[in-house]
Amino acid sequence: MSEENSIELVHADIVLRDHQVLTDINLEIKTGEFVYFIGKVGSGKSSIIKTLNAEIPLEKGEGKVAGYQLSGLKTRDIPFLRRKLGVVFQDFRLLSDRNVFDNLAFVLKATDWKDEKEIADRVNAVLEMVAMTHKSKSMPHQLSGGEQQRVTIARALLNNPEIILADEPTGNLDPQTSIELLQIFKDLNDQGKTIVIATHDYPLIRKFPARIITVDDQKIYETVIKRKEE
């Protein structure tokens, strides 16, 4: 397995609750790449993201993410892998009982940050990256869907991960908000981060072209989609 790849799967089967989702997958994503997984609902896009995040165990084949071997990954090592990843979910998963700042501070404290000033500085830094500093004291229910997703992206950036995994990050958002969020991912990619997005938002892909992998019939395929004319 190559050291220059952020993500690699070799002859990997992805199985979810005894259901074979993907068979004999071979995948290489190099450090700093921007990659879309596309495909119809139920094709396995999200299952790939969950496998890379060790949410679904890799039971057959080999896999490596951010230097960690997925096959045989010990439970105690999963948190260390996840610190090298930033994961953005479609359903936000923000804690409803605390404000934006405290949502993010909670994550840092859970990953062994101790110094309150360092925590505050890091939370404010990631909120600034996603233009949400002015909402730091707001509760999640006071935010629009787009604002909640910005906070989710900020949360994913807290530990300065090498890789960002996003599962349908614009699935519940209007087109303009989706464009604004994809621009954030594009900017992060320009800074050298590896970006992997599962989506079926084809207009957005045409606006922000990158490498495309189609998931269909338990396999993956490289795909070319022409950029929409300006």
Q: Indicate the domain borders of the chain.
A: 95-159
Output the six-digit token pair for 95: 């804690």
Q: Which two tokens stand for residue 129?
A: 């990256």
What is the distance between the alpha carbons of residues 80 and 34, in angstroms, rounded to a whole number? 23
The pLDDT score that the predictor gives to residue 225 is 63
112-142 confidence digits (pLDDT tens):
899 999 999 999 999 999 999 999 999 999 9
pLDDT for 10-59, tens place per residue? 999 999 888 899 999 999 999 999 999 999 888 889 999 999 999 999 98
DSSP 56-68: S---EEEEEETTE
Per-residue pLDDT of 146-187, as tens digits, reads: 999 999 999 999 989 989 999 999 887 888 989 999 999 999
pLDDT tens for 62-97 read 999 999 999 989 999 998 898 899 999 878 889 999
Q: Which pTM value belongs to this model?
A: 0.90
Return the pLDDT at 200: 86
